[in-house]
Amino acid sequence: MPTSIPSALQNCLLRLIPAADMERMYRHFEWVDLDSHEVLQSSNQPIKDIYFPVSGIYSVLTLGKNGDGIETGLIGHEGMIGAALCFDVHNAPFEVVVQVPGRSIRIAEHHFLETFNASIETRTIILRYVYTAFVQTAQTAFANGCMTVQQRLARWLLMCQDRLETTEFEITHQFLARTLAVQRPMVTVSLQILEGQRAIRSTRGKVKIIDRALLEDIAGSAYGVAENEYLRLLVNPQFEDQVRAGPRSAGLM
């Protein structure tokens, strides 16, 4: 494997790709720095590139006719953007935007598909990841329909920490309101409740996780299912036995 490839392995999905397939794709990689609110995939528009994030957070937004949207998926350095192409679907009815600035690897769709279609090993890895993304979307629907705002917020903060690998990150109440599909005052109240429970510390434009275990307890069954599936299928095949025993997820990576 070329010595320059290890920098690409900051993306956990690429880390799993067989060396020969990585060498084939690597020559077509382009490193891009992405800013907040940048749109990487537009609703019902052709998907021209695949992105493998190495940092930052990227939101999958389902949009209404009036342009309002709700976050139905969260992607970081565990995954990829543009997965509809894996099913020979070249446009999709949702939008992917940058929520936390970061760096990503970009590869043109035809170069990615050359390897994806030629290698059963790489195809299996990618499709297993896409399955975990489906599970995450299902869990988001469950959380939105059955959980309190505090539980949904706790889940979202845990998912952010998994992808940013830090206990403190910048986030605005306005952004959280759109993400959770609630009014901004409800976000403020929910942050105050979590802070009163000593799970987090919230300051202007920043949130710091103080007690992750407590935050997981607050999130309850809203968090952990998709994360455990990622661990079981992509990180540790022996993890399935541990899941059956009822462990608490410790994040994706």
Return the minimum-mean-pLDDT range out of 23-32, 72-81, 238-247.
238-247
pLDDT in tens, 220-230: 999 999 999 99
Coil, strand or helix at 95: strand
pLDDT at site 70: 85
With CA atoms as reference, report the closest residue to 59 among 95, 35, 83, 86: 95
The mean pLDDT of the chain is: 88
pLDDT at site 250: 46
Interior angle at CA 37, CA 130 and CA 65, nearest 5: 75
Label residue 39 by pLDDT band (50, 70, 90): very high
pLDDT at site 165: 85
- CA torsion sign for 84, 88, 92, 98 is positive
pLDDT in tens, 166-194: 899 888 888 888 888 888 899 999 999 99
Please report the domains of the chain, with CATH numbers, ordered by start residue: 5-124 (2.60.120.10), 147-222 (1.10.10.10)
pLDDT in tens, 57-116: 999 998 887 777 788 999 999 999 999 999 999 999 999 999 999 999 999 999 999 999
Coil, strand or helix at 36: coil
Label residue 252 by pLDDT band (50, 70, 90): low
The 39-41 sheet, strands edge to edge: 39-41, 95-100, 57-63, 69-75
Give me the percent of the chain exceeding a pLDDT of 90.
72
Label residue 7 by pLDDT band (50, 70, 90): low
Distance CA 163, CA 76 (A): 5
pLDDT at site 249: 46
More confident residue, 165 or 25: 25
For the cut 90, the answer to whether the pLDDT of residue 130 exceeds it is yes
How far, CA to CA in Å, does 127 sit from each of 83, 101, 114, 121, 163?
A: 9, 26, 15, 10, 20
Mean pLDDT on 119-138: 96
Amino acid in the structure at residue 42: S
The token duo for 86 is 């894996």
